Amino acid sequence: ALVRSPMMLERTEVLRSGATGMFFAAVAKSQTVAQGALIGHVSDFHGKKLEEIKAPFAGEILYVIGTPPISKGEPVAMIGSAK
């Protein structure tokens, strides 16, 4: 099928975990978010929050992982913006 109105993304960024633990998403794929919006958080294996991952700029969530276990440096989501 042909795409009727393609959107060209000018800016994209893969968001990565800064810690090993469990990732819990606060957004869904295709959701529009503002700069600084909470994308999700990483907790240790006992439930202690280690970090919050926030949107570096306003845009659309292109993907977000759905499996909680995460290692430091692994991607958790990708954001893109046409502006």
Taking only the tens of pLDDT, the chain with its 83 residues reads: 787 887 789 999 999 999 999 999 999 999 999 999 999 999 999 999 999 999 999 999 999 999 999 999 999 999 999 86
Please tell me the predicted confidence (pLDDT) of residue 51: 97
**72 in Cβ contact with 51 (< 8 Å):** no
Unique residue bearing structure tokens 């794929």: 29
**32 in Cβ contact with 80 (< 8 Å):** no
Please tell me the predicted confidence (pLDDT) of residue 83: 66
Please tell me the predicted confidence (pLDDT) of residue 2: 81
**19 in Cβ contact with 28 (< 8 Å):** no
Please tell me the predicted confidence (pLDDT) of residue 6: 79
Q: Across the beta sheet with 32-33, what order do the strands follow?
A: 11-16, 75-81, 59-64, 32-33
CB neighbours of residue 58 within 10 Å: 15
Please tell me the predicted confidence (pLDDT) of residue 8: 86
